[in-house]
Amino acid sequence: MDTKKNQLSRREALKLFGTGIVGVAMATTGIGSIAARNIKQDEPRVARRKQKGSSNMPSLLGFGMMRFPTRSDKSIDEELTLSMIDYAYKHGVNYFDTAFNYHGGTSEIFAGKALKRYPRESFYLATKMPGWLVTSLDKAKEIFETQLERCQVDYFDYYLLHSISREADYLRVYEEYGTLEYLIEEKKAGHIRNLGFSFHGSNELFDKMLEKYDWDFVQIQINYYDWDQIDAKYLYHRLEEKGIPCIVMEPIRGGMLAKLTPDAEAVLKEVNPDKSVASWALRYVASLPGVLTVLSGMSAMEHVVDNVNTLSTEFEPLNDKERVALDKALNIFLKTRPIRCTACKYCMPCKFGVDIPANFMHYNKCVNESNIPERDSQTPEEFERRKKIFLEGYYAIPEEERADKCRLCGRCERSCPQRLKIADEMYRITEFVKSLQ
Three-state DSSP state, 338: coil
Of the candidates 345, 339, 337, the one whose C-alpha atom is nearest the C-alpha of residue 425 is 339
Q: Is residue 219 a contact partner of residue 266, using CB atoms and an 8 Å limit?
A: no
Residue 336: what pLDDT? Answer: 80
Three-state DSSP state, 241: helix
Phi, psi of 169 (to 5 degrees): -65, -45
Residue 415: what pLDDT? Answer: 87
User: Exposed, middle or buried: residue 332 (CB in 10 Å: 0-12, 13-18, 19+)?
Assistant: middle
Residue 340: what pLDDT? Answer: 85
Per-residue pLDDT of the chain (437 residues), as tens digits, is: 444 344 444 444 444 444 333 333 333 233 333 343 455 657 899 999 999 999 999 999 999 999 999 999 989 999 999 999 999 999 999 999 999 999 999 999 999 999 999 999 999 999 999 999 999 999 999 999 999 999 999 999 999 999 999 999 999 999 999 999 999 999 999 999 999 999 999 999 999 999 999 999 999 999 999 998 778 999 999 999 999 999 999 999 989 999 998 999 999 999 999 999 999 999 999 999 999 999 999 999 999 999 999 999 999 999 999 999 999 999 999 888 789 898 898 999 999 999 999 999 999 989 888 888 988 888 999 999 999 999 999 999 999 999 999 999 999 998 898 889 999 999 999 999 999 98
Residue 375: what pLDDT? Answer: 84
Contacts of 2 (CB under 8 A, 6+ apart): none
Of the candidates 104, 114, 194, the one whose C-alpha atom is nearest the C-alpha of residue 151 is 114
Of the candidates 287, 289, 309, the one whose C-alpha atom is nearest the C-alpha of residue 298 is 309
- Which amino acid belongs to residue 17? F
Q: Percent helix, strand, coil in the chain (nearest 5)?
A: 50, 10, 40
User: Exposed, middle or buried: residue 44 (CB in 10 Å: 0-12, 13-18, 19+)?
Assistant: middle
From residue 290, give the alpha-carbon distance in Å to each of 238, 251, 252: 11, 15, 18
Residue 41: what pLDDT? Answer: 57
Q: Is residue 94 a contact partner of residue 30, using CB atoms and an 8 Å limit?
A: yes
The backbone region for 61, taken as left when phi is positive above 0, alpha when psi lies in -120 to 50, beta otherwise, is: beta
What dotted CATH number matches 11-334? 3.20.20.100
Beta bridge partner(s), residue 100: none
The count of C-alpha atoms lying within 13 angstroms of the C-alpha of 186, restricted to the half-sphere facing its C-beta, is 26
The domain ranges of the chain are 11-334, 356-436
Residue 99: what pLDDT? Answer: 98
Residue 38: what pLDDT? Answer: 52
Residue 337: what pLDDT? Answer: 79
Residue 368: what pLDDT? Answer: 83
Three-state SS across 100-161? CCHHHHCHHHHHHHHHCCCCHHHCEEEEEECHHHCCCHHHHHHHHHHHHHHHCCCCEEEEEE
For 404, other C-beta atoms within 10 Å of its C-beta total: 15
Of the candidates 366, 355, 360, 356, the one whose C-alpha atom is nearest the C-alpha of residue 389 is 366
Report the C-alpha dihedral over residues 91, 86, 281, 338, rounded to 10 degrees: 170
Q: Is residue 315 a contact partner of residue 286, using CB atoms and an 8 Å limit?
A: yes
- Which amino acid belongs to residue 13? A
Three-state DSSP state, 242: helix
Residue 369: what pLDDT? Answer: 86
Model pLDDT for residues 233-265, shown as the tens digit of each residue: 999 999 999 999 999 999 999 899 999 989 999
The backbone region for 370, taken as left when phi is positive above 0, alpha when psi lies in -120 to 50, beta otherwise, is: left
Tell me how far apart the alpha carbons of residues 57 and 76 are, in angstroms, rounded to a whole number: 29
Q: DSSP secondary-structure letter at 401?
A: G
- Which amino acid belongs to residue 199? F
